[in-house]
Structures are given as structure tokens and as C-alpha cells.
Amino acid sequence: MNFMYRIAQFFQGRYGIDKFCYFLLILYCLLCMVNIFTRSVIVTIIALLIAAFAVYRTLSRNIVQRQKEARVFDKIFNHIKYFFTSIRTRIMQSKTYCFHTCPHCKARLRLPRKKGKHTVSCPRCKQDFKMRVWF
């Protein structure tokens, strides 16, 4: 009981584990798996630095700075997630829709797939442009 109390006292006021920490640990595991085949000293050092940073973040008392790092990580992670989600959506809808970029404002447009030449009016910049759907 005394030992558990001491552990609880040690972790009080520390940042703990978040999504960025899980990402760092997964990255560490991947680098360790890569290192099984490559046996590189540089990869080992990088993996250990990543693991040390993950442990440092978990035990850190500077919660404001750790939350800033987590916010930056979330922002980057959401951009990457949106990129792959949009590619998946485009592939899944490619039979019924075709996707074009407006030449004036660079907006991504989802248009019904109809073979032939069409005049398209962009909903964002209200300008017309011609396009052709081949198949």
C-alpha cells in the first residue's frame, strides 16, 4: 500500500500519456523493427532519442508546453488524415462523380460524371470554365 501511494505521489502533477506520446512509441517500435534488418547504429540512436522524448513528455511537469506540442501534433495529424480521407472518398465516388480543380480559384469541384464537353460554373468564384469528361 505504501509503495502504491509513493507511485501515485510521483505521478501527481505530471503530464501523462497523450496521442502524440502514442505516436512516438509506435514510431519507436517501427524503427526497432527496421533496425532488426538494417542493424544500424544511427537508427538505434534515433529510436532511443524518440523513446527518451516520449518518456520525458510523460513525466514532464511543464503541462502548458506539452499541450502546445500536442496541439501542433493534432494539427499536422488532422491534415494528413484529411488528405488520405479525401483520396479514399475520390476513389469510392469515381464511378458517379469526376473531380476537377477550378482554374480561377483552385477550388476542388465534385461534378456528376457525364461524358462529353461541359461548361461548369464554379460555386465559389462564380466564373464559368469549359471542361471535358473523356469516360
Residues near Zn ion, by CB under 5 A: 102, 104-105, 107, 122, 124-125
Nearer to Zn ion, 61 or 104 (CB): 104
Q: How far, in Å, CA of 10 to CA of 4, rounded?
A: 10
Nearer to Zn ion, 6 or 126 (CB): 126
User: C-beta of 38: minimal distance to Zn ion in Å?
Assistant: 48
Torsion of CA 83, 88, 92, 97, to 10 degrees: 10
* Shortest Cβ 111–Zn ion spacing (Å): 13
How far apart CA 125 and CA 13 sit, in angstroms, is 52
Scan for cell 505521489, then name that residue: 9
Rounded least distance, CB 129 to Zn ion, Å: 8
How far apart are alpha carbons 89 and 101 in whole angstroms? 16
Strand partners, 100: 109
Residue 61 or 124 with smaller CB distance to Zn ion: 124
Smallest Cα–Cα separation from 109: which of 119, 91, 121, 118? 121
Give the residue with the Cβ less far from Zn ion, 16 or 103: 103
Cβ of residue 123: shortest distance to Zn ion, in angstroms?
Answer: 8
